[in-house]
Amino acid sequence: MTVRLRAAYAPLLALAGVATLLAVFLGAPPAWLLICVGLLLALLALVARWSPVRSGVVAASLGVTAVAVWPLPLMWETASWLEVCAAAAFWAVPALGALAAGGHLRRQASRMRQAVRDGRRDQQLELARDLHDFVAHDVSAIVVQAQAARFVADKDPEQAVRALERIEAAGLGALASMDRTVHALREAAGARSVSVPGTSELPELVERFEGGVLEADTTAAGELSREADTTAYRVAVEALTNVRRHAPGAAIVRVRLHRVTEGIELSVANSAPARGAGGLRGLGLRRRSGTGLAGLRGRVEAAGGTLRAGASADGGWRVRAVFPARGRTLG
């Protein structure tokens, strides 16, 4: 149905209403008047559904009036004023019902459009959070390695070269994350779907992290749902990013994925930063705002899990997310 046809409904209803009123007062046969009434009811529903409000109100007023008064000439000489008013009110009911039906469909369509807009906005926010969670990790690594390379460039060129290699790997990781985001946008537009990173990519993620140690139970990882698997990877990315930002001197960062009593646990724990390591922060590694662990808590809970974060006994920091095994829920 084209916009041009929809715009014609209100003028058609107005024209049909005026024509019916003229036919009523000129004494047209009742059979013809009933046909006009049926046409008016259909046009009233279409106008309420499709026409602009301003023109629709004028046309609907004429249409309702024409439907309500059509039987009056038939009973004008024999009926009382009360009976005439009752007849007009009786025939106004189907006219108002047609308007109500069209208005209901219009309201439902408006709600559906709003739901689509809300869904698109939520998807855009989701993609923005994903881009932050994944890219911020690699960008933080680039900053830290660049600062480290500047310190060791004169004394140990070989270490500087290794730092540059790690910078290159982190940059490629950031590009890959942005590429996945672009593919996700294309998928929303109807393109072919792409894979979402999950716990299977933890080894590559931890390998790029200096001092990172991974202990992963592949059997336990297989018991995660698809949503929990993706969320667990995001928890690891965010936790490692926070280690780089706020504890760059931590000697060991241990990432564990294993089965516990409550379900499947992913934990990221870093040792206490070495003394003097905070100097890197003064050279430009400042705290930045972002979705952070607070934003991840909602993701984890949406996947049926729980998230805890706090200081560990050795002075470090530990993030712990527990997800239900597939087919089970956390009690």
Higher pLDDT, 162 or 301: 301
Domain count, the chain: 2
Write out pLDDT tens, residues 108-140: 999 998 888 888 777 767 767 766 666 776 777
pLDDT of residue 244: 79
- Which domain range does residue 54 map to? 3-113
Please state whether the predicted TM-score (pTM) of the whole model is above 0.95: no
Residue ranges of E strands in 145-232 = 212-216
Asked, for residue 139, whether it belongs to a domain, the answer is: no
CA angle 242/323/247 to nearest 5° reads: 15
Asked, for residue 322, whether it belongs to a domain, the answer is: yes
CATH number at residue 315: 3.30.565.10
Asked, for residue 170, whether it belongs to a domain, the answer is: no
> Which SS3 state, helix, strand or coil, does residue 262 take?
coil
For residue 154, give every residue at least 6 positions away whose Cβ sits within 8 Å of its Cβ, in sequence order, or none: none
Q: For residue 138, how many other CB atoms are within 10 A of its CB?
A: 24
Asked, for residue 190, whether it belongs to a domain, the answer is: no
Last residue of a domain, one of 113, 145, 160: 113
- The stretch 271-289 carries a mean pLDDT of 48
pLDDT of residue 323: 94
pLDDT of residue 190: 53
Give the phi and the psi of residue 261 in degrees, each rounded to 5. -60, -40
Last residue of a domain, one of 85, 113, 141: 113
